[in-house]
Homo-oligomer: A and B are copies of this chain.
Amino acid sequence: MFEAAEVGASLSKEEYKKLEPKLREALLKAQGKLSEGGFAAMILVGGVEGAGRTDFANTLLEWMDPRHVQVHALGAPTDEERERPRFWRFWRLLPPKGRLSVHIGNWYTQPIVGRVFKDLDRDAFAVQMDHIVEFESMLARENVRLIKLWFHVSKKAQKKRFERLEADKDTSWRVTKQDWEFHEKYDRFRKISEEALLKTSTADAPWEVIESSDRHWRDVTAAQKIVQTLEAAADAAAKRTPPAKPALPKPKAGSVIKKLDLSRSLSAKKYEHALEKGQARLARLARKLRAKGRSMILAFEGSDAAGKGGSIRRLTQAIDARNYRVIAVAAPTEEERKHPYLWRFWRDLPRLGQTTIYDRSWYGRVLVERLEGFCAPEDWKRAFAEINAFEEQLASFGTVIVKFWLSISPEEQLRRFKERERIAYKQFKIGEEDWRNREKAPAYEAAAVEMIERTSTPHAPWVLVEAEDKRFARIKVLETVCDALERAL
């Protein structure tokens, strides 16, 4: 695919001078539309060394309003980054809606360089390309528009450029030893890059290969592509309609939730004994988790008043406060709404040795957001696959994941609601919304059943908890966490 970018495309200085003002105007107009906030945009600038990626970024910053553009170059990962899955550092950099970022060095860099130098075998490389396609497809659907530019120069042109830069004492520093090492591997780079580009040129996020031996041609062609993409994205954003009121799903008979035996219970005495034993066991395992440099994620879902908070506290009592964090997930903030829905969960991922407990989680996408119509049907439908991909990344990084669904009967819920209204210090736990949600309980249950069926995986299983009796539920949660840690460590 690179042959088409070795035909000697160029622009004379006069042509360039004629095009530039119009192009700048078009860029600024497109940026204006972007800033209306319907979408975000990321420009990935890839290509061989010496193709002028940094030069282009500089030019682009001159042409556009720098107040809304952020250029990122990829340095070595920091320790905070190394302690999370590979994509964490990119999630950190996602621009919010209304903003544009330019990435010199990005999620393609490490796989391509790794494959060129054979740190990655063919299969591992292919898997990484699949992850990239998944990631980019999610971004596109979450209104982060990707503009993927690949700057190509021939091996000869690369050599010429390095030599020209080296000849001038003011630019010779720009050519490094690594550049020449990469030059020697040019043919392999070309082959691997071609593979990467072919595998990741999707309808949502196609690559644009740009011949780059002439900088005028390169800059103008790249800028035109940016204008086109931003304009198309703005048109698409303008046409978007708010999701219609959703049809509520009906519960199936004999579902996994219906089948739970809610009569299971524990006596106070048995509970006290099991609690003490379980917490001592968890304390030991949590210390082992830390010693081994692994991390853990627990997610709690369930109907209102099912006892999530109480179960969580029986866990945290056994863990050193320095080693866990409870994130209670409420409606997203303005900043969170400007990012893909998984962004805020990525943000809070635990460091090695740490545990993050989510009181409600990313599954809100297929529960409350689905049922209240906060997202469109196509959004929650794709979420199952996106969530599985997210959890798979966590698991393959070594994170222990357990997800709990706490179940109570409608009668028990009513009793707890009334208790909450009665006891002063529990009043904060109960509001109008809870009563409203209660009316939709059958739909919530149906959505939960679908969620459990579609996202229970070996590496991130759902554990259904009979929570009618609080004591039984707390012990089941506690022992399940211990078992999961024991298996993993």
Contacts and interface: CB of A to CB of B under 8 A. Distances in A.
A489 interface: no
A280 interface: yes
A470 to B, nearest CB: 15
Interface in A7-61: 21, 24-25, 27-28, 31-32, 54, 57-58, 61
Interface stretch (A62-70, A148-156, A237-245): A62-70
A80 interface: yes
Contact of A61 (B25, B66, B70, B313): B313
B71 A283 contact: no
A104 interface: yes
B66 A21 contact: no
A396 interface: no
A58 B316 contact: yes
A170 B326 contact: no
Contacts of A284: 173
Dominant SS at the A interface?
helix
A104 B328 contact: no
B66 A309 contact: yes
A416 interface: no
Given A316-B58, A425-B25, A66 B359 contact: yes
Nearest to A174: B320
Given A70-B325, A71-B325, A333-B335, 18 more contacts: A21-B425, A24-B425, A25-B424, A28-B427, A31-B428, A32-B428, A54-B320, A54-B321, A58-B321, A61-B316, A63-B425, A66-B328, A68-B328, A71-B321, A78-B80, A79-B79, A170-B279, A170-B280
Contacts of A283: 170, 173
Interface in A286-324: 287, 309, 313, 316-317, 320-323
A268 interface: no
Contacts of A428: 28, 31-32, 65
22 contacts: A21-B424, A21-B425, A27-B425, A28-B428, A58-B317, A58-B321, A65-B428, A65-B429, A66-B359, A67-B328, A67-B359, A71-B325, A73-B321, A73-B322, A75-B322, A78-B78, A80-B80, A104-B321, A170-B279, A333-B335, A334-B334, A334-B335
A23 to B, nearest CB: 9
Contacts of A326: 61, 66
A321 B57 contact: yes
Interface residues of A, number: 54
The 8 A-B pairs of least Cβ separation, nearest first, read A73-B322, A67-B328, A24-B425, A170-B280, A25-B425, A25-B424, A54-B321, A334-B334
Nearest to A360: B67
Contacts of A1: none
A253 interface: no
A167 interface: no
A100 to B, nearest CB: 13
A332 to B, nearest CB: 12
A86 to B, nearest CB: 17
